[in-house]
Amino acid sequence: MLRKSFFIISIIALQACADKESQRGNTQVVNEPFKIIKDSSSVDDQSDHTENKTFESGHFYTHDDLKFMSFTWDISASDKRFNVQWTNGVQWFSLDRSKDVGCMFGVITRPYIHLSGGDRHEGGLSLLGILQNDSTIHVLSSYVNDVSQGDLLRAYNFKGVDCLVVLNSDSTFKTVIVDSNLDLGNDEDISVQKNLAGRWGDPNFGNEIEFFNIGRRVIWNGEEKQFHFESGEYDELLNVFSIEGDSYFFKRTEEKLFLYKIDKEADDWEYSGYQPEHFDTEYLIQESSKELSFEVFKRNVSAIFKK
C-alpha cells in the first residue's frame, strides 16, 4: 500500500513539471499509436505482450519511450536552423522552447519544438512538433496558416533566403514560410505585390507612377517618394497608403489601379469595409514589376521540390 501511494505521488509530481503554456488546455492524440513491448516473464512464466500507447500532447516521454514512435528522430539534432523569426505573410512566430526539460526526477524528454507568435490582431499562435533531425520538424499540432498536423517543416536556404518549406506527410510540396527579417514575405510587401507593384499610367492627364515589390518607395511623376500603409481597428492593414501628407484608398483589378484621395477627417476610412463611392483617378498598367515577389519565390522553391 505504501509503495502504491508513493507511485501515485510520483506521477502527480512528474505531471507538475509539464509546461502548461504549450498544452493549451487539452490533451490531443497527435500521432498513430506506437507499441511498447514489455517483458512480462515472471513467476507466471507469461509470454511477452504488446502494450499500445498513443503519443499525446502535454505528456513527457523518456528516450526509451520515443524509440517506439512510428517515425524516426535524432536525439542529437540541433534546433539552430529553426531559431529565426518566421512569417507566412500574415502571421509571425519564432522558436519558444525545445527538447529537454529538467524537474525533480532529473532530465526527462518532452520531444517538442514549440513555435509561438501571433498576427497584427493578437498573439496566441502556436505550433508543436518533433525535431526529427537538424533540418526537419514533424508537426504535431498547428495554428499556423497552411500548416497542419502531420506536415513536415524543412529548413532550407534558397538563393540566400532562409525559409521553411512546408511539405505534406508524403513529402510533396505545400508552401513556403520565410525569414521575417526580410521584406519579401511580410504583409505590407505582399499587399504591394498584389495590388500596387508595376508601372501605371493615367490616360487622361498623362501622369505616371511606379511601385516596387520590396520597400515602401514609389516613383510619383518622376520623383521618388516614400509611403506607408495605414492600419485600422485591431491594427488590421488597410487598403490606404499615405505619402507626404496625402492619403489614398486603392483598389486593383487585373489591368487597372483605382486611387481615391481621402479626407481623414471627413471619410470613414478606418474600417476594413470602407469603400469610396467613386474614384478620383484610374490608372492603366504599363509594365509589370520585374522584382521578385513572394508568390514567384514560392513557385521557384516549389519547382526544386517537385523535381
Residues 8, 10, 12, 13, Cα dihedral to 10°: 160
pLDDT tops 80 at residue 6? no
Average pLDDT over residues 105-134: 79
Residue 97 pLDDT level (bands cut at 50, 70, 90): low
Give me the percent of the chain exceeding a pLDDT of 70: 71
Asked if 188 and 216 count as a contact pair (C-beta separation under 8 A), the reply is yes
Residue 60 pLDDT level (bands cut at 50, 70, 90): low
Using CA atoms, how far apart are residues 47 and 157, in angstroms rounded to an integer?
A: 51
- Give all strands of the β-sheet with 223-226 in edge-to-edge order: 223-226, 217-220, 208-211, 198-201, 281-287, 256-261, 246-252, 237-243, 228-231
Average pLDDT over residues 42-57: 40
Write out pLDDT tens, residues 175-225. Answer: 999 999 998 899 999 999 999 999 999 999 999 999 999 889 999 999 999
Grid coordinates 481615391 are at which residue? Answer: 260
Query: Model-level pTM greater than 0.85?
Result: no
Residue 138 pLDDT level (bands cut at 50, 70, 90): confident
Asked if 190 and 207 count as a contact pair (C-beta separation under 8 A), the reply is no
pLDDT tops 50 at residue 17? no
Give the C-alpha distances (Å, rounded to integers) separating 161 from 92, 238, 289, 297: 17, 28, 20, 10
The per-residue pLDDT of the chain, averaged, comes to: 79
Other CB atoms within a 10 A radius of the CB of residue 303 amount to 10
Helix H or strand E encompassing 206 = none
Delineate the domains of the chain, giving CATH numbers in brackets. Answer: 23-182+296-307 (no CATH), 187-287 (2.40.128)
Using CA atoms, how far apart are residues 73 and 111, in angstroms rounded to an integer?
A: 9
Average pLDDT over residues 39-51: 36
Q: Which three cell numbers stand for residue 186?
A: 511580410
Write out pLDDT tens, residues 221-276. Answer: 999 999 999 999 888 999 999 999 999 999 999 899 999 999 999 999 998 889 99
pLDDT tops 80 at residue 147? yes
Using CA atoms, how far apart are residues 76 and 134, in angstroms rounded to an integer?
A: 9
pLDDT tops 80 at residue 102? no
Using CA atoms, how far apart are residues 82 and 218, in angstroms rounded to an integer?
A: 34
* Helices (H), ranges, the chain: 2-16, 20-23, 63-66, 187-195, 294-305
